[in-house]
């Protein structure tokens, strides 16, 4: 039963990603989502209890809008997986956004995850079909087996890149190694693909600034940066990041692609920059919601769906989530216009909150006391 459901789903998704030039597949989405929901509510005990408690009859539901989302934080308090214990193909840890301990996303198989991530990465990072040497500003997946981000990056390198080099070794960023690799890349005509977290890139740029050093990477070089744990929750403005890539690596705005993802979701969201450049069209606002994902934007006060263009809480419905619930309520804010999603960056804290202990400060302080990790899993 399990295998059959999986294979069906994977087949559908693979098929879908192949014909993704059309963005709207409402009927298909409806059918697949409801099938997936029926499967998940029957085979994830904690989700089953929730669905039952809400009085929802999975067999009778006719509209995916009625699928109850689980709060992203529930991965920290509950086991939310249909995969049999001990037989996981991968266990990803979620970032500690609300409760300090991380949650666990247990996957019985990663094939569906891969089926979602690869065409998406290809479309946004390699729309010209280039096969490039990859330089990862992060650790190898083997060093961080519970990070969905580094799993994803690793998989992209394995399937799409000419070669791979990793800057973080044993949890430590090896900047000298980065210098060496980039120097070599800059001396050839071979463009490169950089993949990493915004934080690490910016830390490296700071170092280059103090050494008064910069590299001019060959034309066609490109970079994917990601907020790592929390989309674009940034200590930097997007402008600063863009300026950093242009100044220190010679990577223009058109070749810098920001990605947003979370361990609780099998699918990712990418900027349109490089794709627009290759297709010689104007860039579209925001990130693309893959056709096998729906994102609802809810009014933060009323939880009613808001019209396009209005900001609200993001709730994702992701068909690439097979073993874990497809509907996830986040605490991220954003706006949607059609299938474009803009995630609201949190401004750098303009001012301390005074004597009130902010929720996140507390969590932050607690986390700082926990053993250090260079890279947060997501």
Partner 1 sequence: MTSAFYLPLGLEEGLETTVQRFGPAHDALELHLPVVTADDLTRWIEVLREARETNLATLATSHIIRSLDKVAARFLDSRDPARREAIDSLSRSGRFTVPMIERALDDAFQPLVRGGITKWLVSELGSVHALDRPVAGPGGILRRAHGPEWMLQIYAGNVPALPVWPMLSALLLKAALLAKTSAREPLLAPLLARTIAEVDEKLGACLAVVWWKGGSADLDPVAIRLAPAVMVFGGDEALAGVSRHAARGAHVVLHGPKVSLAYVERRALRFAGLRALAARAAQDVSLYDQQGCLSPHAFYVERKGEVSPEKFTEALASALEAASADLPRGEVPAEDAARIQLLRAQARFEAAGLAAYAPTSVELMDPPGSRSVLGNVGIHGATKVVESSGSTSWTVILEDRARFEPGPAHRTVRVHGVDGPEDLARALRGSVRYVETLGLEASGPERARLAAVFTGIGIPRIAPVGRMQRPTPLGTHGGVRRLLPFATWSTVEAAPARSKPVRNAPARRRAPGRRASR
Q: Which residues bind partner 1 (CB under 8 A)?
A: 46, 48-50, 52-54, 69-74, 77-78, 98-99, 298, 300-303, 311-313, 329-333, 344, 346, 349-359, 361-362, 365
As measured in angstroms, the least distance from the Cβ of 40 to partner 1 is 14
Q: CB of residue 334 vs partner 1: minimum separation in angstroms? A: 10
CB 310, min distance to partner 1, A: 11
The backbone torsions φ and ψ at residue 5, rounded to the nearest 5 degrees and listed phi first, read -60, -45
Q: Supply the minimum distance, in Å, between the C-beta of residue 209 and partner 1.
A: 16
CB 13 within 8 A of CB 320: yes
Query: Cβ of residue 300: shortest distance to partner 1, in angstroms?
Result: 3
Comparison of 70 and 249: residue with beta carbon closer to partner 1: 70
Comparing CB distances to partner 1, the nearer of 256 and 313 is 313
140 vs 233, beta carbon nearer partner 1: 233
Is the CB of residue 16 less than 8 Å from the CB of residue 293? no
Instruction: Please choose, from the candidates 30, 1, 128, 75, the residue with its C-alpha nearest in 3D space to the C-alpha of residue 328.
Output: 75
Task: Name which of 79 and 285 has its Cβ closer to partner 1.
Answer: 79
Task: Tell me whether residue 70 or residue 107 sits nearer to partner 1 (CB atom).
Answer: 70
Write down the least CB distance from residue 68 to partner 1, Å.
Answer: 9
Residue pair 69/309 in contact (Cβ under 8 Å)? The answer is: no
Select 307 or 362, whichever has its Cβ closest to partner 1: 362
Q: Tell me phi and psi for residue 282, to 5 degrees.
A: -70, 145
Nearest distance from C-beta of residue 57 to partner 1, angstroms:
15
Q: Are the CB atoms for 230 and 259 separated by under 8 Å? A: no
Nearer to partner 1, 66 or 71 (CB): 71
Q: In the complex, what is the shortest distance from the CB of residue 234 to partner 1, in angstroms, rounded to a whole number? A: 14
* Smallest separation, CB 237 to partner 1 (Å): 16
Can you list the alpha helix ranges (DSSP code H) found in 141-197?
148-160, 175-187
Nearest-angstrom CA–CA distance, 296 and 332: 12
Judged by beta carbon, residue 100 or residue 190, the one nearer partner 1 is: 100
State the Cα–Cα distance between residues 266 and 148, nearest whole angstrom: 9
Distance, in Å, from the CA atom of 337 to the CA atom of 216, rounded to the nearest integer, reads: 36
The pairs formed by 279-283 with CB atoms below 8 angstroms and a separation of 24 or more are 279/127, 283/254
- By the 8 A CB rule, do 326 and 40 touch? yes
Cα–Cα distance between 247 and 226 in angstroms, integer? 19
Q: Which residues on neighbouring strands pair with residue 104, listed in sequence order?
A: 93
In contact, 375 and 139? CB cutoff 8 Å: yes
The structure tokens 């050839």 sit at 188
Residues 6+ apart with CB under 8 A from 52: none
Q: Please, which residue, 265 or 274, has the CB nearer to partner 1?
A: 265
């Amino acid at each position: 039963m399990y295998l059959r459901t999986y294979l069906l789903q994977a087949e559908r998704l693979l098929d879908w990603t192949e014909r993704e030039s059309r963005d709207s597949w409402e009927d298909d989405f409806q059918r697949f989502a409801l099938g997936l929901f029926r499967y998940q509510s029957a085979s994830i005990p904690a989700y089953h209890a929730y669905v039952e408690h809400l009085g929802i009859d999975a067999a009778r539901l006719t509209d995916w809008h009625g699928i109850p989302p689980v709060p992203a934080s529930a991965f920290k308090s509950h086991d939310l997986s249909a995969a049999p214990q001990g037989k996981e193909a991968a266990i990803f840890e979620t970032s500690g956004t609300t409760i300090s301990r991380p949650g666990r996303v247990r996957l019985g198989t990663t094939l569906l995850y891969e089926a979602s991530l690869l065409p998406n990465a290809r479309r946004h990072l390699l729309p010209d079909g280039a096969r490039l040497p990859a330089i990862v500003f992060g650790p190898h997946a083997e060093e961080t087996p519970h990070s969905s981000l580094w799993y994803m990056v690793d998989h992209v390198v394995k399937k799409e890149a000419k070669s791979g080099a990793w800057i973080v070794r044993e949890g430590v960023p090896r900047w000298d190694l980065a210098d060496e690799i980039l120097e070599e890349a800059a001396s050839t005509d071979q463009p490169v693909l950089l993949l990493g977290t915004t934080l690490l890139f910016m830390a490296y740029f700071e170092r280059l600034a103090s050494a008064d050093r910069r590299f001019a990477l060959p034309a066609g070089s490109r970079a994917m940066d990601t907020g790592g744990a929390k989309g674009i929750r940034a200590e930097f403005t997007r402008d600063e990041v863009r300026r950093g890539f242009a100044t220190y690596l010679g990577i223009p705005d058109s070749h810098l692609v920001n990605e947003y993802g979370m361990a609780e979701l099998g699918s990712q969201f990418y900027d349109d920059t490089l794709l627009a450049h290759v297709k010689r069209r104007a860039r579209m606002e925001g990130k693309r919601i893959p056709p096998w994902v729906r994102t609802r934007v809810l009014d933060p006060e009323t939880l009613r769906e808001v019209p396009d263009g209005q900001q609200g809480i993001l709730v994702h419905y992701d068909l690439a989530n097979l073993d874990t619930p497809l509907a996830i309520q986040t605490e991220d804010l954003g706006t949607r216009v059609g299938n474009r999603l803009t995630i609201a960056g949190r401004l750098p804290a303009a001012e301390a909150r005074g004597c009130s202990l902010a929720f996140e400060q507390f969590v932050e302080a607690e986390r700082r006391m926990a053993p250090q990790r260079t890279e947060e899993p997501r």
